[in-house]
């Protein structure tokens, strides 16, 4: 999973080169969402994918001032969106062409609904740990515009001997 605040240093200082259309529009939309918040609530970083400065696609990361609020970050590639909320991940194939959660919603509407869910907080995430206490997988459930959405990544548990090691995190609101 993620390796704490030092991973920000891995963000490339080289600005991304988003393709016209969805990639550029997504960067603009995220800037607008963060810009609408009161000053000092969160910090937005836009760059290239961490560890891959040769990739021109845009990567964004919203870091809340409240350490107990969820991070909101993602990568736009062509018409796809790879979104990370807290530690859980989900890829939306064809997000710009209708690959959204709510049928008939535009990607802009859906991005705003996901953003509002993260801002409001109150959702939980289950972190699965290996025998050394390192996170090896996570599952988060969100309610987006009345529909439950599941984000998950990694493996569920490493349990050769003993009981499953799980930690539950409840995220707080941004404000």
Please check the confidence at residue 110 and state whether its pLDDT lies above 80. Answer: yes
Task: For the chain, give the percent of residues with pLDDT over 90.
Answer: 49
Confidence of residue 3 (pLDDT cuts 50, 70, 90): very low
User: Who has greater pLDDT, 115 or 130?
Assistant: 115
Question: With contact defined as beta carbons under 8 Å apart, do 65 and 42 qualify?
Answer: yes
Residue 105: φ, ψ to 5°: -80, 150
Please check the confidence at residue 6 and state whether its pLDDT lies above 70. Answer: no
Residue 50: its pLDDT value, please?
A: 83
Question: With contact defined as beta carbons under 8 Å apart, do 156 and 137 qualify?
Answer: yes
pTM of the full structure: 0.83
N-to-C CA span, the chain: 26
Please check the confidence at residue 65 and state whether its pLDDT lies above 70. Answer: yes
Which of 3-7, 91-95, 134-138 has the lowest average pLDDT? 3-7
Residue 10: its pLDDT value, please?
A: 45
Please check the confidence at residue 157 and state whether its pLDDT lies above 70. Answer: no
Residues 6+ apart with CB under 8 A from 175: 37, 38, 41, 119
Mean pLDDT to the nearest integer, 44-69: 90
């Amino acid at each position: 999973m993620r390796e704490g605040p030092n991973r920000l240093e891995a963000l490339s200082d080289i600005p991304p080169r988003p393709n016209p259309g969805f990639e550029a529009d997504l960067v603009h939309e995220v800037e607008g969402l963060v810009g609408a918040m009161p000053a000092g609530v969160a910090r937005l970083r836009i760059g290239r994918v961490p560890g891959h400065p040769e990739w021109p696609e845009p990567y964004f990361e919203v870091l809340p001032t409240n350490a107990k609020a969820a991070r909101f970050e993602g990568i736009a590639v062509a018409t796809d969106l790879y979104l990370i909320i807290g530690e859980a991940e989900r890829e939306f194939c064809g997000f710009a062409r209708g690959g959204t959660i709510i049928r008939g919603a535009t990607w802009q509407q859906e991005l705003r609904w996901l953003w509002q869910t993260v801002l409001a907080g109150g959702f939980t995430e289950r972190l699965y740990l290996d025998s050394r206490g390192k996170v090896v997988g996570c599952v988060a459930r969100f309610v987006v515009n009345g529909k439950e959405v599941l984000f998950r990544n990694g493996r569920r548990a490493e349990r050769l001997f003993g009981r499953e090691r799980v930690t539950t995190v409840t995220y707080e609101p941004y404000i």
